[in-house]
Amino acid sequence: MYKYFFNNDSLKKLNMILKKNISEFSIFFVTIILILNSADPVLETDSVRYLNQSLLDPPLYSSFIFISQLIFGSLKYVVILQTIFVAFAIIFFTKTLTQIFDLGSFDKTLISLFLFLPVISIYKNILTETISYTFSLLFISFMAKLIYNFNNKNLAWLSITAIALLITRNQFLFLYPIIFLLFLGLFFSNPDKQKIKLLTLSLILIFLTHNFLIILNTHLKKDIIHINKEYGVPEDIDIIQNTKWTEKITYVTLGPSYFLFIDALYVSNIEDVELFKNQNTKKLLVNIFNEMNEKKSLIKNYNGRGHFASSFSNIRDYSYPLLSRLAHQQNLSVSKLRNEISIKLIKKNYKIYIKFLIKKAYDTTWLFIVVPLLISLSGLIFFIKNKSNISLLLSSVSLFAISNHMVIYLFGRIQPRYFLYSDLILLVLLFMIVSTFLKIINKKKSNNF
């Protein structure tokens, strides 16, 4: 038996298997080491929302936590499962790239380990980063598969991963225009009546399923009230429970209008209160501006990187209780009152606001707006001329990165963890394009000789 297992043929086969799957084994061992080293969950400030199944967020991650705890009874298994999922996504992504670009074992392993690097710092966090990174990798994988091999299976999986992202973070609403442009490109590359029907049906199903799950989640949790001072929920519970005062929980009211209000206050000053006729609104804004002036939390106190991040927290935490009480008095929703104030302030200070957005982009990762923009434009031009799969893939992934950045610049705080889902994937794809280009040049040179 000893001789059977360790003869030359068996060793050769084992060696071939190891060489062929070296990247998969590498990710497997790194994952095991991480989990064995520590699977203790790390609770951040935002973790409370997911543990309490807050309506402020889409339902996927909080449901994942709830089901994991229901089955295993411990948050440790949330960490273990999300680490395994992201490891699987990295393996799947590199296998997809290998099928398209014919990667060697060394390149495949290098890409796998590179993609795994951020996992080391996020895998224990009870936050959406690990799951979002998982589904981003899978979404781009099925995007590539669909471009190179259009069939019902790849289209279905692309739709499923898109829905998963949409119900993980509101940030991923940018997927709608990306999917629309991708489907347009797929049809343009090979016009077919059956294809347009399938693509249209898929887009409709993504929209309906996403919104149905959001509405269902809101309906199921409508009686749950969470008080969280850190996120500005007013201490006076009667304000929330009052039947005459309601706040519609949607990804629009909790996303764009929420962040636009903070931006509007940040770029304005106390003199702007004269824009408002309502005396109660004036008093509210005077109160907020006086407090923010004292804390030096307005744009006139701008001192470079990090200033808006601290100002964001100051404006949010101080303004929301005041805003909610005024909305209650005027029998309005908070989002409606917030929008009325935001529109007037930004209309008055639109030049400062535009400069502020550019400054936010420049102070963080401006390179990942300029570079993807150039790539997407060149890829689009090349696709229109040649209808090549690589140019459509390059344009789509670049637009994925640009859209992710623009959503954060316009409607949120700039934090590196929000760019994790797009930037690393784009870097890997650029590496693949350059590597493929160099291989073509080397082949031409060798043929000439």
Residue-level pLDDT at 178: 94
Q: Which residues of 175-204 are buried (b: 16+ CB within 10 A; e: fewer)?
A: bbebbebbbebbbebeeeeebeebbeebbe
Q: What share of the chain in percent tops pLDDT 70? A: 80
Residue 81 has pLDDT above 50, yes or no: yes
The type of residue at 31 is T
Contact (Cβ atoms closer than 8 angstroms) between residue 188 and residue 168: no
Q: How many CB atoms lie within 10 A of CB 92?
A: 15
Between CA 261 and CA 57 the distance in angstroms is: 18
Q: What is the DSSP code (8-state) at residue 46? A: T
Phi, psi for residue 44 in degrees, rounded to 5: -95, 180
Between CA 234 and CA 228 the distance in angstroms is: 8
Between CA 59 and CA 216 the distance in angstroms is: 10
- Choice between 401 and 333, residue whose per-residue pLDDT is larger: 401
Tens digits of residue pLDDT in 255-282: 567 788 888 999 999 999 999 988 999 9
Identify the band that residue 183 occupies on the pLDDT scale cut at 50, 70 and 90. Answer: very high
Phi, psi for residue 42 in degrees, rounded to 5: -105, 120
Tokens (6 digits) for 339? 């929008």
Identify the band that residue 134 occupies on the pLDDT scale cut at 50, 70 and 90. Answer: very high
Average pLDDT rounded to a whole number, residues 383-408: 84
Average pLDDT rounded to a whole number, residues 62-74: 92
Residue-level pLDDT at 430: 78
3 state SS of 415: coil
Average pLDDT, the chain: 81
- Choice between 231 and 58, residue whose per-residue pLDDT is larger: 58
By the 10 Å C-beta count (0-12 exposed, 13-18 middle, 19+ buried), 42 is classed as middle
Report CA torsion sign: 45, 133, 426, 257: negative
- Choice between 425 and 150, residue whose per-residue pLDDT is larger: 150
Tokens (6 digits) for 291? 């407090």
Identify the band that residue 399 occupies on the pLDDT scale cut at 50, 70 and 90. Answer: confident
Q: Show me where the domains of the chain are located.
A: 2-220+364-448, 233-292+305-355
Instruction: Please name which of 139, 203, 27 lies closest in space to residue 400, comparing C-alpha atoms.
Output: 139
Residue 378 has pLDDT above 50, yes or no: yes
